[in-house]
Amino acid sequence: MTKERMIIEIKEWLKEAAGYIQVSLTNQLTVSQKSGRTDLVTNIDEETQAFFIKKINKHYPDDRILAEEKEFNTIDSLSGRVWIIDPIDGTMNFVMEQENFCIMLAVFEEGIGQLGFIYDVMRDELYWGGKDFGVFLNDQKMSTPKNLSLSEGLLGMNAYMYGENIYSAKEIGRASMGIRISGCAGVELIAMLKGNHIGYISNLSPWDYAAGLVLLEEFGFKYSNIKGTKLSFSKREYFLAATPKAYEDIQKRLSFE
């Protein structure tokens, strides 16, 4: 199976899943809490994830899956080929706004990102790409964003981190042109790919960042956990991604006291 064929298949799956999600917005959602009242899951999250798992198991039965919901949310390693899925990234936005949410899917082989897809469902905008392909918005190849410093651009940030000034988040925000908070990692990563934001600081799980990392890497962005070490892909952790210049600026301003 070539990457080209895999890309065609994944795009077809994403379009089918997006159509189902859009129709579901006209029906009654079943909304449950996971860790608390602001950590939501809906029947559509679970059904969309099950849809992708069924497709992968049918077409790629030897591959492994890491996904947000239920028994698929842990994995012992990234060896072999691993699919990393967030069926609806930004579930709170999905429930409360019915926009500003994404489907995210990544394919990793031996721990290296090969393909990444971020689909803004309500805008019908698919950001995708991977090694040796570049980055695309639908069928249009995108240009590499400018390598701007922290003081030259807008910065996406997690609301709790900013409000509680975790790791000096407020000082970092003030050093930028301003912070933006969307409540969806996919939307924030898209803003970086478009060159609208110079970075993103948040507290994320692997399915929140895996697809984005594949695309950010193609554009030369730097990324790590907040302390500058490798992301674990095994738990929620503080996350930093930015242009090379902004990444260095942010690292200098972080406080771990």
Whether the CB-CB separation of 68 and 74 falls below 8 Å is answered with no
- What 8-state DSSP symbol labels residue 164? T
Instruction: Give the contacts of 133 (CB within 8 A, at least 6 positions apart).
Output: 3, 7, 115, 218
| Nearest residue to 52 via CA among 88, 22, 27 | 88
* Residue 68 annotated as binding site: yes
DSSP-assigned states of every residue in 23-62: HHTTS---EEEEEETTEEEEHHHHHHHHHHHHHHHHH-TT
Name the residue among 172, 30, 51, 161 with its Cα closest to residue 105. Answer: 51
Does 62 belong to an annotated binding site?
Answer: no
Is 86 annotated among the ligand-binding residues? Answer: yes
Residue whose entry in the numeric block shows the structure tokens 């990102």: 113
Amino acid of residue 63? D
Quote the distance between the C-alpha of residue 163 and its chain's center: 22
Binding residues for Mg(2+): 68, 86, 88-89, 208
Binding site as annotated, residues:
68, 86, 88-89, 208
